[in-house]
């Protein structure tokens, strides 16, 4: 952004209580983000230890945004069984029993990650609403800001 533009934004002197509120909310969001990354990476690492993934696409990285069927379809597109002696060129196809095991595992991580993402969004909205209130923004001003 342009420095000239930023200099026109009025900065309010917040009381210590309000400063602490924002600092604590940001800390909470950062901690939740760390937990999100930890869970997401753990799931992805588990896939990598069980299958050879040649291309780790967006759907596999963000598996928690999709349902189990989408996950299976994506996995079958890019995963190969790991063989100690050599890489088999046949793509992976999980048995029904394996699908049951992976579905439980998938749903556990999906549910936990979605709770974290929802919590992060809620905390961000709380921060935004507090800022809107501090600056006395109207509904139309808030709508304009939230478009960006």
What percent of the chain shows pLDDT beyond 90?
63
Q: What residues does 80 pair with on adjacent strands?
A: 52
Tallying the residues shown for the chain, one arrives at 148
Q: What is the pLDDT of residue 85?
A: 45
Q: What is the pLDDT of residue 89?
A: 58
Render pLDDT for 135-147 as a digit per residue (tens, 0 to 9). Answer: 999 999 999 999 8
Task: Establish how many alpha carbons lie within 13 A of residue 11's alpha carbon, considering only the half-sphere containing its beta carbon.
Answer: 5
105: buried, middle or exposed (CB in 10 Å: 19+, 13-18, 0-12)? Answer: middle
Q: What is the pLDDT of residue 68?
A: 97
Q: What is the pLDDT of residue 102?
A: 95
pLDDT of residue 25 exceeding 90: yes
Render pLDDT for 59-103 as a digit per residue (tens, 0 to 9). Answer: 999 999 999 999 999 988 887 766 644 455 567 788 999 999 999
Q: What is the pTM of this model?
A: 0.82
Q: What is the pLDDT of residue 14?
A: 85
Residues 47, 71: contact at Cβ < 8 Å? no
Q: Which residue has the higher pLDDT, 127 or 50?
A: 127
């Amino acid at each position: 952004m342009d420095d000239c533009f930023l200099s026109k934004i009025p900065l309010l002197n917040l009381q210590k209580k309000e400063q602490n509120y924002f600092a604590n909310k940001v800390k909470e969001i950062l901690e939740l983000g760390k937990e999100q990354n930890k869970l997401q990476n753990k799931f992805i690492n588990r896939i990598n230890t069980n299958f050879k993934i040649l291309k780790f696409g967006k759907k596999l990285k963000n598996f928690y945004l999709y349902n189990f069927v989408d996950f299976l379809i994506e996995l079958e597109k890019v995963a190969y069984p790991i063989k100690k002696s050599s890489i088999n060129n046949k793509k992976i196809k999980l048995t029904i029993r394996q699908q049951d095991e992976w579905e439980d595992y998938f749903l556990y991580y999906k549910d936990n990650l979605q709770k974290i993402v929802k919590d992060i969004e809620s905390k961000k909205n709380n921060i935004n609403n507090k800022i809107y209130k501090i600056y006395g923004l109207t509904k139309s001003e808030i709508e304009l800001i939230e478009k960006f």
